[in-house]
Structure 1
Amino acid sequence: MAGLSATNTDNGLIALATGGTGGHVFPAEALARELESRGYRLALITDRRGDAFGGTLDRIDLHTISAAAVSGRGILGKVGAAFSLALGYIQASNLLKQLRPLAVVGFGGYPSVPTMLAASRNRRIKSAIHEQNAVLGRANRLLAPRMDRIATSFAETSGLRQSDRNKAVWTGNPVRPDIMQMANTPYAPPRQEDPFQLLVVGGSQGARVFGDVIPAAIALLRDDQRNRLRIVQQAREPQVQDVSQHYRRIGVDAEVRSFFGDMPLQLTKAHLVISRAGASTIAELTTTGRPSVLVPYRYAIDDHQTENAARICDSAGAWMMPEADMDAAVLAQRLGDLMDQPHTLASAAAAARRIGTPEATRKLADIVVDLVGGTVTSPNTQKNEKAREALA
């Protein structure tokens, strides 16, 4: 049964179409919470792998359809994927006729394609997509001409056709609720005599290059710098023990795990973050205003992580280090310089915060509500925005 609205009213049903990766799920969950608070019922449509959602998405009606990625496959694989998508389209069309939603909102990825195509063919249903990255994803590139609205996370989004720009609205990328709770925690630059908190995040499954290079770079720092370091590092499960032992050998205080359940808290405690440049990571860094060294994943589709990183680096909120150029000596030089320059870290933190969009959830919800002819209100975010203005 769909989650009950906090307003105890029923303004109608809105369906969300998303896959199971964090980059798609986090903004979908944030939007679900906001729409639920405004009196809308919700349904979630995904592929058969989408069975591990949490939070608000775990409470709403879940419907699965057939879907598969076409790219990166051989001929037989592409034929099978095309058949799966065609079947998914038929399933989604029948499902939407049953559900009769006012609108369907897609968050990219191939699991959203059949549902969003079906929605675009139904004149009674409004359709919108949200793009998390600075480069329009392939699924959203296909869907964009058919949509009523296109919400973007960045002010400038590559790959958007000129003919579709009049439908595009910059909302920012919604972040998960536990990040929003930390959004107004001010950045405290480290003093020379204080411990230096370094957070290393390698994406949903860690990054092997981080486990290989970062401990080696730390070993090259001056003794006084290593003695100040307090490291929290996410690593791949097979690397956790080796990385932990390396830090112990060089006498560095480090906590290494494959997963941290308190990552929002660790983020706000950090003086510096080393991370990949996924869309959710960029949104969290800018929402909380934390300085970072960004190492884009070199094999990301359309090199979108480099584009994501460039947006924040151009605003002086981060430093980019291409993975091909990342070695221990180069990273040690960067880390050592930043540890000795707290004013530079503070400036980067302020720059990151300035380009953050903590109101992204409200803006995205406003677009959806406006599409269906509802009353656009945002009582849930006014306090956050006032607090944000006070920090600016």
Structure 2
Amino acid sequence: MTVTRHFVLAAGGTGGHMIPAHAVAEELMARGHHVALVTDERGAKIPGIFRDAAVHVLPAGRMQGGPLGWVRGLRGIITGRDMARRMYETFRPSVVVGFGGYPALPALLGALKDGIPTVVHEQNAVLGRVNRLLARKVNAIATAYPDVQRLKPKYDHKVHLVGNPVREEVLALRDEEFPALTDESVFRLLVTGGSQGASILSEVVPEGLSLLPISLRRRLQVTQQCRAEDIERVRATYAEMEIPADLATYINDIPEKLNWAHLVIARAGASTLAELTVAGRPAILIPLPSAMDDHQTANVRELVEAGGARSIPQSRFTPVELAKQMQKMAMEPGALQNAARRAWNCGRPNAARDMADLLESIGTAPLMNTPVTVKPVTAPAGLDLSGAPA
């Protein structure tokens, strides 16, 4: 007999929220469950994910911009909540789980209104605003780190450490050996600043590499993500230094590049750190200072303390400092291999499995041999909310 449940996953429209949600969706569907995604227009456009699940775009107002902005934001949240509740009438979710970001809020509010069990997953080492708002009401709080700031001790009884789910392509790197590296072999460097790149990496990294000893510099091979406005300047700089460089505004094959790299220079987003630790790759990390609640600085703490990465605050991220840190990692015998092993030890490769176990343990009674239909929801102009799960 086929036993299935329905799960709604709600996530903000950035990779940091969407990638973990996608990994959990894949695990749930592999177990025979039906999954629907609630997100915003940005999330619905991220390529390569949620191809086999219904995707619902709901309004998700943000409370910003003064009194008029607050009114508009509240109206959007209420509209999104009511639309989610209409979806629940036919989809009948066993659990609604939020992965952070404002687009998750209406779906969770709708579930709370209808008495549907709810769970939130926090990818960062600081509890996000939406998750803080709902922490008291949800059934469980899943975390990626053992120590999460702004998570009140009174909620400890509902906290579950699961890690940050990653894509199967990254998980497959778990059993791969660290790339062979000798004093004479090519030294492969991956530089990535997130989905939009980071201008400061384009400014500092090429100049920092120019300060390295010639014995290391002549061995470099670089793959770097750049903003569109920076890419030609960076390409010319590398050409002048005679450093082979593959530059792109978006790196589609991150798992392949992680497997290729000896060292990664990156921001400290939650998904980046999860992928580094699952794959076991050493890194130099530059936390984004404008990140909400400075969560990227908190994110790096566990990995840096374990010896799997070095962190440089953006205020001190200069070519000289980068060159100094790279030499310590790249030229001391065994340093990179040791850092890779320590990063690997920080990985939580079973995060998607453990998250799915948690959701199954909380979900209401299963639906057996139940056909899946979702009545189309009347949406505002420009929003498509119809569809059924695969």
What is the TM-score of this pair, normalised by structure 1?
0.90
Q: Report the Cα distance in structure 2 between the residues aligned to 1:350 and 1:291, rounded to whole angstroms.
A: 8
- What's the offset of the Cα at 1:279? 0.2
Q: Verify the 8 A CA contact 1:16 1:105 in the aligned structure 2.
A: yes
Task: Describe the SS at the equivalent of 1:337.
Answer: helix
Q: Report the Cα distance in structure 2 between the residues aligned to 1:44 and 1:271, rounded to whole angstroms.
A: 36
Sequence identity (%): 38
Is 1:307 equivalent to 2:293 in the alignment? no
Residue deviations 1:290-312 (CA, integer Å, cap 9, x gap): 00000000100100000001121
Q: Which residue identity lines up with residue 7 of structure 2 in the other structure?
A: I
Q: Which blocks of at least 5 consecutive residues in structure 2 are unaligned?
A: 367-390
Q: Which blocks of at least 5 consecutive residues in structure 1 are unaligned?
A: 1-7, 376-392
Count of residues in correspondence between the two structures: 366
- Which residue number in structure 1 is paired with residue 30 of structure 2? 37
Q: Which residue identity lines up with residue 84 of structure 1 in the other structure?
A: G
Which structure 2 residues correspond to residues 162-311 of structure 1 after superposition, within 5 A? 162-188=153-179, 190-311=181-302
- Which residue number in structure 2 is paired with residue 14 of structure 1? 7
- Please, which of 100, 111, 128 is the counterpart of residue 119 of structure 1? 111
- What's the offset of the Cα at 1:373? 5.8
Q: Which residue identity lines up with residue 365 of structure 1 in the other structure?
A: A
- Which residue number in structure 2 is paired with residue 385 of structure 1? none
- Which residue number in structure 1 is paired with residue 377 of structure 2? none
Q: Which structure is higher in RCO with an 8 Å CA cutoff and minimum separation 6? A: 2
Distance 1:217 1:374, change over 3 A: farther
Distance 1:338 1:284, change over 3 A: same
Q: Report the Cα distance in structure 1 between the residues aligned to 2:117 and 2:70, rounded to whole angstroms.
A: 30
- What's the offset of the Cα at 1:53? 4.2
Q: Which residue identity lines up with residue 68 of structure 2 in the other structure?
A: L
Q: Which residue identity lines up with residue 87 of structure 1 in the other structure?
A: T
- Which residue number in structure 2 is paired with residue 60 of structure 1? 53
- Which residue number in structure 1 is paired with residue 17 of structure 2? 24
Q: Report the Cα distance in structure 1 between the residues aligned to 2:200 and 2:180, rounded to whole angstroms.
A: 27
Q: Report the Cα distance in structure 1 between the residues aligned to 2:328 and 2:147, rounded to whole angstroms.
A: 31
- Which residue number in structure 2 is paired with residue 5 of structure 1? none
- Which residue number in structure 2 is paired with residue 81 of structure 1? 73
Moved over 6 A (4+): none
Q: Report the Cα distance in structure 2 between the residues aligned to 1:63 and 1:334, rounded to whole angstroms.
A: 45
Q: Verify the 8 A CA contact 1:190 1:342 in the aligned structure 2.
A: no
- What's the offset of the Cα at 1:183? 2.0
- Which residue number in structure 2 is paired with residue 367 of structure 1? 358
Residue deviations 1:258-315 (CA, integer Å, cap 9, x gap): 1222221111111111000000000000000100000000100100000001121011
Is 1:326 equivalent to 2:304 in the alignment? no
- Which residue number in structure 1 is paired with residue 83 of structure 2? 91
- What's the offset of the Cα at 1:334? 1.4
- Please, which of 80, 97, 100 is the counterpart of residue 105 of structure 1? 97
Q: Which residue identity lines up with residue 77 of structure 1 in the other structure?
A: G
Q: Which residue identity lines up with residue 273 of structure 1 in the other structure?
A: V
Task: Describe the SS at the equivalent of 1:57.
Answer: coil
Distance 1:202 1:150, change over 3 A: same
- What's the offset of the Cα at 1:97? 2.4
Task: Describe the SS at the equivalent of 2:356.
Answer: helix
- Which residue number in structure 2 is paired with residue 390 of structure 1? none
Task: Describe the SS at the equivalent of 1:284.
Answer: helix
Q: Report the Cα distance in structure 2 between the residues aligned to 1:232 and 1:139, rounded to whole angstroms.
A: 35
Residue deviations 1:121-155 (CA, integer Å, cap 9, x gap): 322x2111111001000011111111111100011
RMSD: 1.6
- What's the offset of the Cα at 1:168? 0.6
Q: Which residue identity lines up with residue 112 of structure 2 in the other structure?
A: S
- What's the offset of the Cα at 1:230? 0.8
Q: Report the Cα distance in structure 2 between the residues aligned to 1:66 and 1:94, rounded to whole angstroms.
A: 14
Q: Which residue identity lines up with residue 5 of structure 2 in the other structure?
A: G
Q: Verify the 8 A CA contact 1:32 1:56 in the aligned structure 2.
A: no
Q: Report the Cα distance in structure 1 between the residues aligned to 2:13 and 2:106, rounded to whole angstroms.
A: 15
What is the TM-score of this pair, normalised by structure 2?
0.90
Q: Report the Cα distance in structure 2 between the residues aligned to 1:120 and 1:219, rounded to whole angstroms.
A: 56
Distance 1:293 1:48, change over 3 A: closer
Task: Describe the SS at the equivalent of 2:136.
Answer: helix
Is 1:316 equivalent to 2:307 in the alignment? yes
